[in-house]
Copies of this chain bind each other. A is one copy, B any other.
Amino acid sequence: MIDERHKSALIEILGEKGVVTDQAGMAAYEIGARYDRGRAAAVLRPGTTAEVSACVAYCVREHIALVPQSGNTGLVSGSTPDASGSQVVVSLDRMTRLFDLDIDDRSLRVDAGTRLSDINGRLEQSGLFFPIDLGADPRIGGMLATNTGGSRFLRYGDVRMNTLGVKVVLADEPGTVVDLMSGLRKNNTGVDWKQLFVGTSGAFGIVTECVLNLERLPRQVSTAYLVPRAGAAVMPLLRMMEQRLGSYLSAFEGMSGNAVAAALAHVPSLRNPFQNGDIPAYVILTEISRSWAPREGEQPLDAVLETVLAEIWEDDGAPLANAFVGPAHEMWALRHALSEGVKHAGRLLAFDLSFRRADVLAFCEWMKAELPHKCAGVDSFDFGHIGDGGVHFNLVVRNADQVDDAFEKWLRDWVYSVAVDRFGGSFSAEHGVGRKNQAYYDRYTPQESKNLAAGLKRLTSPGSLGSVCFG
């Protein structure tokens, strides 16, 4: 708990409702979405950039450690305090006022505490949306801090590619506000500073406002399940789909049979879509979409997808074992149930990895072959975003008693070393860096990059900010 002097000073800055120090009030800010539980010295809830600046400046001068928190939906312990009880959480949850839509510019100025669902809910009638598609419902500041990707990266890119501007408070003695909110799409006037605050877990500054690129909402959507003949058929399939469907293609998601079975078992309302209920070893969910309403003379989108799948069937050496178009909501419902399903399949050890696109399946198959020898009783329930090389590599341990800290560390070390050292992949595709994977940042980041990060930390936010140590 912070002492009374600090508490009074912070109440002076933020008002009574801006400073939470009672246990009940702090609880929700201390618990991570899935994994951890820490203890906060206090929770600060500023309502404006000026308030963020003032409270950050105070804490930096008083050597109080700060952890910025946005929607707190992350999975790497990036936004919760540690167990020491000495860190103060700076929550963005009252930063939700600004909402300035520029229709002509297809852009939105918004406070960093605004939830993704609020953004897209309020935008719906304009026919526009912020095109990052996630299972969770984070606040936008945290989405910037982790540079979230999601299921439609293939078409729209990640948060970084859709961020036109930010306003940031640095953790230095004055609580410097850096205003990068011009929001211009083409602007090459030196360093593009906003890039430093995207994907860096709030360690270099707290994003308080941003300008977002918006895209036109899909008005026609068609989906299919594709069953490849083998893992090696997935890349040819993706190539054929890209070749024939170009910018229509908006998702190309991979699902292991294990993950599909776990979802069907966990959510009884889901229909098993496969012939005789036989779940294949691997399935692709692909989606094509157009942002305009159906037009006379234009082939319906389902027919386009059917035609293309027929063409692929007719190809010599067609990589397809099976394929069928089906209702988008039903097909996506199964995809969205994977995460919960897998959690209920046993003791879960989850990895958020990425590779060059061709290596996703190569890695998963290598692992599947090795797992029985390396650690019997552990199975892979992977699924992910083949179109951009991301994979949620989930290991489920049948006998939960097998898992203690030493086993978990040993298994994690092994998986990461195969992913990074052998396959040239990343230990964090789209969840970002937090306390949970700090050790892997330390291990896998080249020394030159670490030196630059430490220097940048001194340069921007020398105060103690964030749950990650880049310095």
Contacts and interface: CB of A to CB of B under 8 A. Distances in A.
Interface string A114-133: 00000000000001000000
A282 to B, nearest CB: 16
A431 interface: yes
Nearest to A187: B426
Interface in A161-178: 161, 176-178
A216 B242 CA distance: 8
A445 interface: yes
B188 A433 contact: yes
Contact of A239 (B104, B199, B245, B431): B104
Nearest to A182: B424
A431 B160 CA distance: 22
Interface stretch (A38-46, A297-305, A343-351): A297-305
Nearest to A390: B186
A190 interface: yes
Interface stretch (A47-55, A145-153, A265-273, A319-327): A145-153
Nearest to A181: B424
A20 to B, nearest CB: 30
A435 interface: no
A188 B428 contact: yes
A427 B298 CA distance: 43
Contacts of A263: none
Contacts of A239: 103-104
A208 to B, nearest CB: 14
Contact of A470 (B146, B190, B449): B190
Nearest to A458: B455
A426 to B, nearest CB: 4
Contacts of A199: 188, 190-192
B188 A429 contact: yes
A192 B456 CA distance: 12
Given A107-B356, A186-B390, A186-B430, A456 B191 contact: yes
Given A445-B190, A449-B193, A456-B191, A357 B104 contact: yes
A335 B455 CA distance: 46
